Structure 1
Amino acid sequence: MPSSKSPVVGERYRKRHEDEDDTIASWGHDNPAFVGVTEEGEATASPQTSSRSSTHDAAVHTISVSPQTGKGHALPEKVLSLKQNTPELPKDKRSQQRETPKEDIHSSEEEGKSAVAPQVVASVLAALTHVALGTIIGLPGVILPQLTDRHSSDLYLGINQVALFGSLIHIGGIFGSMVGGVLNVHVGQRITLLISMPMTLVLWVALFFTNAVWLLLFLRTLLGAVQGLVGAASGNYVVEISQKDIRGRLTGFTDTGRQVGFLLVYIVGSLDLTWREVMLVCGCVTAIPPFIGFLFMPDSPRWLVTKGRLDEARKALSFFRGPHYNCQLEYDDIIHQFEQTTNNKMGFMDQLHQMREPSVFRRLVFLVFLMVAVQFTGNMSIATYVVPIFQATNSNMNSYTSAILIGGIRVVGTVISQLVVDRMSRRFMLIGPCLACTATLLTLGGYFCAQNQGLDISNIGWLPLTALMVYTPFVCIIQAAITILRAEILPTSIRAFSAAIVYVFFFTGMFVATFTFPAMVATIGEYGAFWSYAAACLLIALVVGHILPDTSGLSLEQIDDLFRYGKKHILQSVDQKISSPKIP
């Protein structure tokens, strides 16, 4: 059973002690400035590296070697030359370095605290990209009344065109996900987002000037393709830059951003603006700020490791953890996990082969099920057709005001999920809210059923809004939990590519759910549609309760081991970590 300590670190220290009588250990530095050799054959850190001692004390402490190696070989000529040309350090300095206590070597790791601010800033920027997604998805919910007005002098959409206007963005999302998978692998998540944001703005402006229905639908499809580029890239970026104890909350930022996007478009749509002006406002507000912010962010350290850019990966990890945190062990664990799962092979066929491994394939199938099933919980259909749904209730309450209330509760529900995500198991975050959504959707369906039967429901006109106000925060928690699981349970080595595959099914499910909702209402009524969504919520709860282990509080590397080797392996690793002495 492997130790919980990084095998990379353990191997490094074992190798150092085996070879300390054979050569001078320079810890991978070819530059002679990193090592000073005294006349007695002692290798010590040179003054040029003193500024690095806060984060690399364990790498530059004194190592004693003899002029002749233990095997009878002379010191290398490079070292002898270095010995002759390097000025001797004062004796008291050499003694001070030789007597450095082991406790000081670990003081940076034990006492240093990781900086949270850089991780929060990067997560907020990723969340801003999801504000754009929320406005894209929620747009039909507030402008369809204008586009379906027969007396309007502007563009008019028939019933089939309404279904396409609400759902074609998800067809575009399928192609965007496939292209995004390639971009995420080759240029990284940050560059993918920097490419996507200007494209989003251009498409919003083009929608403002469109003068034909077919062009309106085509541009919506292209906007959906950009949505596919952004979806996986932003989620993966946040997961890979976050430390494990706050990863759940930071990942929830993207979901909060998406809900803020819904609220934004509902508010703008309720103003005295044309549908064209609504599009222009949404484009300018959501595309420009994240583009500027990501210009100043580094790439994900884990993605940099997959590309062999190790120096940049270390710098990126130091940026996100802060200058006072020793990130060496975390860096070593990332390297080891990557080497263990890929053997440094990252080609397209190698990733496909790795996805065929039983433990990885089971995770992929489970995620595909969740990504498709969650679309039939009613979340996207309600968000896309929120104003028409409230108009169908025949309630005295203003439909746009009701939509804004639902948008606000979406934000509140997602914020609540962030506050509890690292305090409760992922299983409970899915099972409990799914059962709550089942109850509320059955209630909403009952209201429409009573309306369809011609019963007097004038005294309960408040019920649809109340039911959706209860339903909305719970479905947002479900969405947040699935977003976290999607990013957590896939191995780092294939996360970018496999996430693209998962998002293909995600957008396929969104397209089917939003395209079929008008047809379901026309055939089985609103009550039949919402009761079907209630059944989907119940199915998710049953499957999650049977399959999903709890991943909260584990690092990405530990989660991978959990699915590969089981819970017993993780418990034994933790026991070894507690009982094992510190590595000198």
Structure 2
Amino acid sequence: MPRKDVERALKAPATGSKVWQVLATLVATGAHFSSGYALGFLSPGIPLLREQHFPDLTTEQEGNLGSLMLLSATLSNPLAAMLADSRIGRKGTCILTAIPFVICFGLNAVFPSSLAAHYVARLLVGLSAGTLTVVCPLYVSEISELSVRGTLNSLVIIMFNSGLFVAYLAGVWVKSFVMLSVGGLISISIFIALCWLIPESPEFLLKHGQKEAAVRSLRWLRGAKVDLQEEMKYMEISQADTEKVESSTLRKIVRVFGTPSLRKAIFIPMVLLFFQQCAGIIAVLSYASSIFSLAGSTLDPNLSTAIIGIIQLVSTFGVTIAVDRLGRRPLLIASSAITALSMATLALYFHLQTNQVDLSSFGLVPLAALIIYISFFSLGIGPVPWVIIGEIFTPEVKTLCTTISSMWVWGLCCIVAKIFPSMVATLGIHWVMWAFSVGCILALICSWFTPETKGKTAAQMQEILSVERIA
């Protein structure tokens, strides 16, 4: 069957059930829930640490706790790519990430008064979080039909945000740092219990010469009554193309940055992710309770943070519907514009507060501004770059480019989380928020020039990028 006929067949509405694809995505990304919990854990965790175990916790130590997870996540990405492409596979690599999670939350629970133990725990949990950032999008993009690929890729972010929300919510009621750590152990235990139920990626199995296993995996994912012949044929064609150009990692890097269409493809998500972090999301997620405390919010800081968490989660559910109906680019543009306005509002509030303007009648403004910021960030500039990453790269370089993108964003997160407490202490919270609002504006400009990937295969995107100017 000619390639174009196969691609047309894949774009036609599928008749099979999507239930098993959704189930496999939810289970595989279950460990990513623990990543979100580990990141959100700091928002209520740092005040509890200071109150119960470290009354003299310094700004530098707080920055270390916020950044060490992100540093090790950056460094883990190359290892993640190697594991995912080895015989261990996508599913096996996801399962391996459970080990550092268990050790991390165990150290937090058993040695709450040891700062060294907390540092080690943050480094370990970062290994798993960084690995999952590479492996989860790979697995999901390889098990999903084209018609629901964007939606299922969005579930990766939903699971992460669910973990964030649960950590924030725990901060409202749990007043013990040890019990907060036990919550992390419970979350990863659920993943360990369920991860054995799902199949390995059919594309991965086919790549390693296990055609019969690939058919069984695809049958599990698509349902017993669906004709798999056309999809298997397309996978075999793609795999044959991949094998023709299979090469070492160094040669792949040279190819990515030496081929105009691939260079544009890696440039798009890296620029989007850069301005995503310039918009301040990691600072908001990691230090939400501290930000509300500085704002003098009329609500309890932990309760305000929990409200932010649920808004973010609900908004991310919204993007699973919108991303395949409205497209990627419109969501990016609308999201960047409204987050810029909301962050500017928050910056203005802090600026007036710093100049001792009476804001007692506007105590809910910080919460309202951050609700709008989180809502629209979660509808576009947050998840959509990761959807694009899952769609824009051809199979032979997808793992490499996903790894590069993941290392890039974790590195940026590490820098922002490390310097945020010091920047607030040195410049004032108002100037930091103004800087974040400028980052949102730059994200808007970048989004305007981002090509649409909705309904297109990676091969089609490469054809478009080979002739389209992006500047």
TM-score, structure 1 normalization: 0.75
Structure 2 equivalent of residue 166 of structure 1: 66
1:495–1:381 CA distance, 2 compared to 1 (3 A): same
1:262–1:3 CA distance, 2 compared to 1 (3 A): closer
Alignment of 1:230-241 (within 5 A): 230-241=132-143
1:561–1:313 CA distance, 2 compared to 1 (3 A): farther
Code of the aligned partner of 1:505: W
Code of the aligned partner of 1:458: S
Alignment of 1:317-336 (within 5 A): 317-336=218-237
The SS at the match of 2:16 is: coil
The SS at the match of 1:324 is: coil
Structure 2 equivalent of residue 531 of structure 1: 434
Q: Give the Cα separation in 2 of the matches to 1:500 and 1:361.
A: 15
Q: Give the Cα separation in 2 of the matches to 1:381 and 1:110.
A: 42
1:376–1:110 CA distance, 2 compared to 1 (3 A): closer
Q: Does 1:4 align with 2:4?
A: yes
Structure 2 equivalent of residue 148 of structure 1: 50
Q: Give the Cα separation in 2 of the matches to 1:3 and 1:156.
A: 65
Structure 1 equivalent of residue 421 of structure 2: 518
Structure 2 equivalent of residue 429 of structure 1: 331
**Structure whose residues are more often helix by fraction:** 2
Structure 1 equivalent of residue 200 of structure 2: 299
Residues 66, 417 of structure 2: 8 Å contact kept: yes
Q: Does 1:184 align with 2:87?
A: no
Q: Give the Cα separation in 2 of the matches to 1:343 and 1:507.
A: 32
Q: 2:408 aligns with which of 502, 505, 512?
A: 505
1:240–1:566 CA distance, 2 compared to 1 (3 A): farther
Q: 1:371 aligns with which of 237, 250, 273?
A: 273
Code of the aligned partner of 2:440: C
Q: Does 1:420 align with 2:332?
A: no
Residues 386, 403 of structure 1: 8 Å contact kept: yes
- Provide the aligned C-alpha RMSD in A: 2.3
Structure 2 equivalent of residue 57 of structure 1: none
The SS at the match of 1:421 is: helix
Residues 158, 313 of structure 2: 8 Å contact kept: yes
Structure 2 equivalent of residue 541 of structure 1: 444
Shift of 1:120: 0.8
Cα deviations across residues 427-446 of structure 1 (Å, max 9, x unaligned)?
11111100000000000000
Q: Give the Cα separation in 1 of the matches to 2:405 and 2:262.
A: 13
Shift of 1:541: 1.6
Code of the aligned partner of 2:199: P
1:292–1:199 CA distance, 2 compared to 1 (3 A): same
Code of the aligned partner of 2:218: L
Code of the aligned partner of 1:200: F
Alignment of 1:302-317 (within 5 A): 302-317=203-218
Q: Does 1:273 align with 2:175?
A: yes
Cα deviations across residues 489-547 of structure 1 (Å, max 9, x unaligned)?
1212221232112111111000011111112212221111111111111112212212x
Residues 40, 168 of structure 2: 8 Å contact kept: yes
Code of the aligned partner of 1:492: P
Q: 2:385 aligns with which of 464, 475, 482?
A: 482
Q: 2:294 aligns with which of 382, 392, 403?
A: 392
Residues 21, 144 of structure 2: 8 Å contact kept: yes
TM-score, structure 2 normalization: 0.93
1:321–1:557 CA distance, 2 compared to 1 (3 A): farther
Structure 2 equivalent of residue 19 of structure 1: none
Cα deviations across residues 407-455 of structure 1 (Å, max 9, x unaligned)?
1101111011112111012111111100000000000000000000011
| Structure 1 runs not aligned, ≥5 long | 10-105, 568-584
Q: Give the Cα separation in 1 of the matches to 2:284 and 2:240.
A: 45
Structure number with greater Rg is 1
Q: Give the Cα separation in 1 of the matches to 2:250 and 2:301.
A: 52
1:111–1:439 CA distance, 2 compared to 1 (3 A): closer
Residues 372, 508 of structure 1: 8 Å contact kept: no
Q: Structure 1 vs Structure 2: percent identity of aligned residues?
A: 21
| More RCO (CA 8 Å, sep 6+) | 2
| Structure 2 runs not aligned, ≥5 long | none
Code of the aligned partner of 2:130: G
Shift of 1:167: 1.2
The SS at the match of 1:325 is: coil
Aligned residues: 463
Residues 373, 509 of structure 1: 8 Å contact kept: no
Q: Give the Cα separation in 2 of the matches to 1:167 and 1:401.
A: 24
Q: Give the Cα separation in 1 of the matches to 2:12 and 2:373.
A: 45
Cα deviations across residues 280-331 of structure 1 (Å, max 9, x unaligned)?
21222x2122223221221111222332333322322222111211122122
Q: Give the Cα separation in 1 of the matches to 2:433 and 2:54.
A: 33
The SS at the match of 1:115 is: coil
1:123–1:112 CA distance, 2 compared to 1 (3 A): closer
Q: 1:408 aligns with which of 304, 310, 313?
A: 310
1:272–1:350 CA distance, 2 compared to 1 (3 A): closer
Q: 2:103 aligns with which of 166, 186, 202?
A: 202
Shift of 1:198: 3.0
Structure 2 equivalent of residue 458 of structure 1: 360
